């Protein structure tokens, strides 16, 4: 049996068949029972170009009927578990298949979820790229489009939805109802959809301003979340998007109704099923969130809406051209966000966060062209990555700058009209664009941008009349090897550099040369760039644009004559306006200004671009990590853009988790905690900044498990986490004086001082917190494991217990710091307007658990207060994060039995398992991880396997170089392993190698 459909197989089948209609019936009337399977019946009408043997895709527990043109075939002979092989005759054919398909818990196929809040059962489907075959028999490839007619029998209380509107329903007895749906328009199998359950929501209508056609709108979620649905906001964004796309594309919305449903345990952000778009219900905000989260949700809504044209109306023939839908949707979603909604700064978040994903992916050894080589569906699954999405969208921004907006949209409109309801390749879109922009070399542009890997690096060398200009990169902005704490690193160098920058700012430019290179392809790969270059200078306390020029070049270097005679300014910014895709190198003077005064840049997009340049310099070892963290610490309390705040915090935490050397870690994190606490104390009451900073303090505190020195900032962070747990949900977290820190250190015996039997006793209570997951209910006896490694892990637990004196010392030091003098800059920390909620409480509890300052009793108490599905997941993470070897052992055993866990519960346990702790209690699992890799991949669906391989990769090990060596050895010994699995390992190894490199460039400074 093979579940991995290849491109060659798909092409052969496409040449043979033309599919007309699927009539699909699903009977899920047993969904609320313990039944594992449901009835699936499919009738396919199609034509064959010749007499031949072919196959239809189906992954099912059993098949009871296979009938081709009225002739019964033996299921045992023709079904291998993933395919049904059968003969076809030239001309018309009819195939009927009846099977028992399995309810999914992996988020692939038809997923079943029981809401712990009220016990209600929900179903939804997720099929991309080839998981429709897990629900009904079909030719599961994008270029065999057909019409689909669905009917579903479900419990009477269920709301059942599909791509098209319901036409009728009839009671079938036993409290079940059969729902019949109108035929779809011609579409691919991967975007068909069924949802069923007691979903609740709101409805509305939208009228096309051009055609005056009315479209029914609906927004749905689980009953336990409906009070938080925020339907007015979601429907408002929906209407604005439909207005925008219908006008810009000059093609009416083609799919009839427009339902959007937010579903649990979803593997993706969303999926563009026409007429029934599915979203993760993590986008239903039951707790307060920052505006960055609302912006993100709006962006996803618009991204999926753009797919109604790019991807659904016109679809790629095979996954090689996945970019034809994902890159376009990513770009169009961002464009609509900025131009049609209140989120006018949408491109700011894109510049700092979305493009960072693209840059990271493009630096991996596994980088690939935007138009990729996808030999099979396993490779397709992994190509939903930063290149296909974010790089593709960035390159489309460059294409729009290259050909002009009007020509780009003219080409798009021609593309829709010419290929509606069909399938295309790259050449088809380029032909349409060439017709719209005949003066541009579209083929040459495509070869340079779409057919190559890697990212261009751009630098600008300036000279000035008084020779105070500078040339070079961020590498000259301070010694890369010199480091210090986040509050003082490189300050002397910064002062000297800032003085030089101010002198240069007053001079006129006498020479300007732009250069490009590509670290992946080599300096000889030259791409055509259309970009804007700006000089920024001081105006009072602000830094504002002084001059800008638009420049085209495709050489290795070129003189920018338009800049001659203009004022140098404080920052020379390449890619001003962010129309290009390139990693920008700031010159020395610009870098000096950036690290000391980036928050003064008035324009948020320019500010984001400068931060992006600093981020890339850090990743490449050209800017010391501590200098970056110094700049970040200075920005806290000053940055007002929610997207920038979120992006900077993400990078700062990455620095702490992976790039700061152990010897510098405590100094770095205490500096950031101090800055964050100071900013929190002065944040505006009830503001986005206040909420963001509160969560940042908790995130930083959770990372202090190995900090042992008496440090007031760390003590205050721990005290804040403790205080959050004393305030009920819905009440204000009042001011906190430093003296409360003394109460933050519990008097209970440190967990690691207990013997193994005591640890087992504590750990065996985990069921109280989680409601009985596999991790929580595992046998507490250390000898209960079924594999031989259990004894080793039990021995490791004993070692952890014996080394309790080290933990006791750390706890004593932490307690000393908590009760020491109040040296923090804020003598009293006011948090007026900061209202407590479940998210803050769980973040605080998880931080304290990682420190060993909270135990299973605290987790059980919090779970009792929050019995939602998200509360259950947070409890699973907290339980697995307890710094006890016996707890880690049973979390590992639960993870190994992944088939018994849902996708999200598995990820929650993994997250807790790898959480930082004071002792290296997970080191014993490194070798076993590598031993089990092939089993992870072979024994699970690709989604579950991906979570196991990525989530458990031991970058948390203290022996980072040993893990790199172990990874290299595995790759050498497993050259025949699936390419998709090897790719995941190669990328994780690259992350770890980068961390080792960056740490090696640091020196201690006290």
Report, as residue numbers or ranges, the catalytic residues. Answer: 304
Token pair listed for 103 = 């309810």
Other CB atoms within 10 A of residue 48 CB: 17
665 contacts: CB under 8 Å, gap ≥ 6: 656, 706, 707
Cβ neighbourhood burial of 314 (10 Å; 0-12, 13-18, 19+): buried
β pairing state of 509-518 and 529-539: unpaired
Token pair listed for 19 = 């599919």
- Cα–Cα dist 842/839, whole Å: 5
Residue 293: its H or E element? helix 291-307
- Cα–Cα dist 443/435, whole Å: 12
- Cα–Cα dist 122/111, whole Å: 8
- Cα–Cα dist 241/244, whole Å: 5
**Angle at the Cα of 386 (from 587 to 655), degrees rounded to 5?**
55
- Cα–Cα dist 712/825, whole Å: 10
* CA 520 and chain centroid, separation: 24
* CA 832 and chain centroid, separation: 33
DSSP tag of 684: P
Distances (CA, A) of 370 to 309, 362, 426, 576: 20, 10, 11, 24
- Prior bond to 924 cis, omega within 30? no
Cα dihedral sign, 672-675-680-683 = negative
- Cα–Cα dist 113/263, whole Å: 9
Partner residues linked to 515 by β-bridges = 459, 557
Could you give the angle at which helices 323-340 and 231-249 cross, rounded to 10 degrees?
A: 110
β pairing state of 62-68 and 91-102: antiparallel
Could you give the angle at which helices 885-896 and 903-913 cross, rounded to 10 degrees?
A: 150
Residue linked to tokens 């296979």 = 66
- DSSP codes joined into one string, 19-37: EEEEEEEEE-TTTTSS--E
Q: What region, left, alpha or beta, does residue 833 occupy, with left being phi > 0 and alpha being psi -120 to 50 degrees?
A: left
Q: What are phi and psi of 499, to 5 degrees?
A: -65, -45
Other CB atoms within 10 A of residue 227 CB: 11
Whether 645 contacts 388, CB under 8 Å: no
706 contacts: CB under 8 Å, gap ≥ 6: 662, 665, 666, 810, 916, 918
969 contacts: CB under 8 Å, gap ≥ 6: none
**Angle at the Cα of 331 (from 282 to 951), degrees rounded to 5?**
40
Distances (CA, A) of 719 to 735, 742, 829, 853: 12, 8, 11, 11
**Angle at the Cα of 986 (from 984 to 991), degrees rounded to 5?**
95
- Cα–Cα dist 276/762, whole Å: 46
- Cα–Cα dist 492/164, whole Å: 66
3-state SS, residue 794: helix
3-state SS, residue 937: helix
């Amino acid at each position: 049996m093979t579940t991995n459909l290849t491109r060659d197989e798909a092409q052969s089948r496409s040449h043979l068949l033309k599919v007309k209609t699927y009539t699909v019936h699903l009977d899920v009337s047993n969904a609320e029972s313990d039944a594992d399977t449901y009835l699936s019946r499919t009738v396919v009408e199609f034509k064959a170009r010749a007499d031949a043997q072919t196959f239809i895709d189906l992954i099912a527990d059993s098949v009871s009927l296979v009938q081709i043109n009225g002739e019964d075939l033996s299921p045992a002979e023709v079904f291998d578990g993933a395919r049904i092989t059968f003969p076809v005759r030239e001309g018309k054919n009819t195939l009927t298949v009846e099977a028992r398909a399995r309810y999914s818990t992996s988020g692939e196929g038809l997923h079943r979820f029981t809401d712990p809040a009220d016990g209600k059962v929900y179903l939804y489907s997720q099929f991309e790229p080839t998981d429709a075959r897990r629900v009904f028999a079909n030719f599961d490839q994008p270029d065999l489009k057909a019409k689909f007619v669905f009917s579903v029998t479900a419990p009477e209380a269920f709301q059942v939805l599909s791509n098209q509107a319901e036409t009728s329903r009839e009671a079938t007895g036993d409290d079940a109802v059969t729902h019949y749906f109108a035929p779809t328009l011609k579409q691919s199998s991967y975007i068909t959809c069924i949802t069923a359950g007691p979903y609740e929501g709101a409805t509305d209508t939208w009228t096309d301003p051009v055609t005056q056609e009315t479209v029914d709108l609906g927004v749905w979620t689980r009953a336990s979340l409906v009070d938080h649905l925020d339907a007015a906001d979601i429907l408002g964004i929906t209407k604005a998007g439909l207005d925008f796309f219908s006008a810009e594309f000059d093609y009416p919305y083609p799919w009839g109704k427009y339902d959007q449903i937010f579903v649990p345990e979803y593997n993706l952000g969303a999926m563009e099923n026409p007429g029934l778009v599915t979203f993760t219900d993590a986008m239903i905000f039951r707790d307060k969130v920052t505006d960055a989260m609302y912006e993100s949700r709006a962006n996803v809504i618009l991204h999926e809406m753009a797919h109604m044209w790019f991807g659904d109306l016109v679809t790629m023939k095979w996954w090689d051209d996945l970019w034809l839908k994902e890159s376009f949707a990513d770009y169009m979603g961002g464009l609509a966000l900025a131009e049609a909604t209140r989120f006018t700064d949408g491109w700011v978040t894109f510049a700092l966060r979305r493009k960072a994903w693209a840059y990271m992916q493009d630096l991996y050894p596994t980088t690939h062209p935007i138009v990729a080589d996808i030999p099979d569906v396993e490779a397709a699954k992994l190509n939903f990555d930063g290149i296909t999405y974010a790089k593709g969208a960035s390159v489309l921004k460059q294409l729009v700058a290259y050909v002009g907006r009007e020509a780009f949209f003219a080409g798009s409109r021609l593309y829709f009209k010419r290929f509606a309801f069909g399938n295309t390749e790259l050449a088809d879109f380029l032909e349409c664009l060439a017709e719209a922009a005949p003066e541009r070399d579209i083929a040459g542009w495509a070869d340079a941008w779409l057919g190559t890997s890697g990212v261009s690096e751009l630098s600008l060398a300036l000279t000035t009349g008084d020779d105070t200009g500078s040339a070079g990169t961020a590498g000259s902005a301070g010694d890369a090897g010199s480091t210090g704490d986040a509050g003082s690193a490189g300050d002397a160098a910064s002062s000297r550099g800032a003085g030089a920058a101010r002198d240069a700012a007053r001079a006129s430019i006498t020479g300007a040369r732009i250069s490009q290179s590509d670290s992946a392809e080599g300096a000889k790969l030259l791409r055509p760039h259309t970009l804007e270059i700006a000089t920024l200078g001081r105006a009072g306390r602000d830094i504002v644009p002084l001059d800008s020029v638009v420049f085209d070049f495709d050489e290795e270097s070129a003189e920018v004559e338009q800049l001659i005679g203009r004022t140098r300014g404080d920052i020379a910014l390449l890619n001003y306006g962010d129309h290009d895709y390139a990693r920008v190198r700031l010159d020395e003077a610009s870098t000096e200004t950036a690290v000391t005064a980036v928050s003064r840049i008035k324009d948020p997009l320019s500010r984001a671009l400068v931060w992006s340049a600093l981020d890339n310099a850090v990743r490449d070892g050209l800017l010391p990590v501590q200098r970056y963290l110094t700049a970040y610490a200075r920005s806290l309390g000053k940055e007002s853009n929610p997207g920038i705040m979120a992006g900077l915090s993400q990078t700062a935490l990455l620095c702490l988790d992976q790039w700061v050397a152990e010897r510098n870690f405590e100094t770095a994190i205490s500096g950031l905690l101090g800055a964050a606490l100071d900013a929190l104390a002065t944040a505006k009451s009830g503001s986005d900044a206040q909420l963001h900073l509160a969560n940042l303090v908790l995130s930083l505190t959770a990372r202090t498990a190995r900090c042992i020195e008496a440090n007031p900032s760390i003590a205050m962070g721990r005290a804040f986490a403790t205080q959050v747990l004393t305030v009920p949900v819905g009440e204000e977290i009042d001011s906190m004086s430093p003296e409360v820190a003394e109460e933050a250190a519990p008097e209970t015996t440190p967990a690691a001082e207990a013997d193994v039997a005591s640890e087992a006793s504590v750990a065996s209570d985990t069921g109280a917190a989680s409601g009985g997951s596999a991790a929580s209910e595992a046998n507490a006896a250390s000898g209960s494991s079924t594999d031989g490694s259990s004894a080793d892990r039990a021995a490791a637990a004993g070692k952890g217990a014996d080394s309790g004196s080290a933990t006791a010392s750390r706890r004593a030091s932490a307690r000393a710091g908590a009760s020491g003098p109040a040296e923090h800059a804020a003598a009293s920390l006011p948090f007026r307007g900061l209202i407590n909620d479940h998210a803050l409480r769980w973040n605080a509890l998880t931080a304290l658990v990682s420190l060993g300052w909270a135990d299973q009793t605290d987790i059980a108490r919090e779970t009792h207060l929050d019995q939602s599905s998200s509360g259950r997941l947070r409890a699973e993470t907290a339980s697995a994060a307890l710094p006890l070897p016996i707890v880690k052992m049973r979390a590992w055993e639960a993870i190994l039995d992944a088939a018994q866990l849902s996708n999200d519960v598995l990820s929650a346990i993994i997250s807790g398992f790898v959480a930082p702790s004071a002792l290296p209690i997970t080191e014993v699992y490194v070798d076993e991880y590598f031993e089990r890799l092939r089993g992870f991949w072979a024994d699970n669906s690709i989604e579950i396997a991906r979570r196991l391989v990525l989530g458990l990769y031991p970058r948390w090990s203290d022996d980072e170089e040993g893990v790199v060596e172990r990874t290299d050895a595995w790759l050498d010994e497993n050259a025949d392993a699936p390419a998709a699995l090897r790719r995941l390992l190669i990328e994780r190894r690259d992350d770890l190698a980068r961390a080792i490199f960056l740490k090696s460039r640091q020196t201690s400074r006290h």
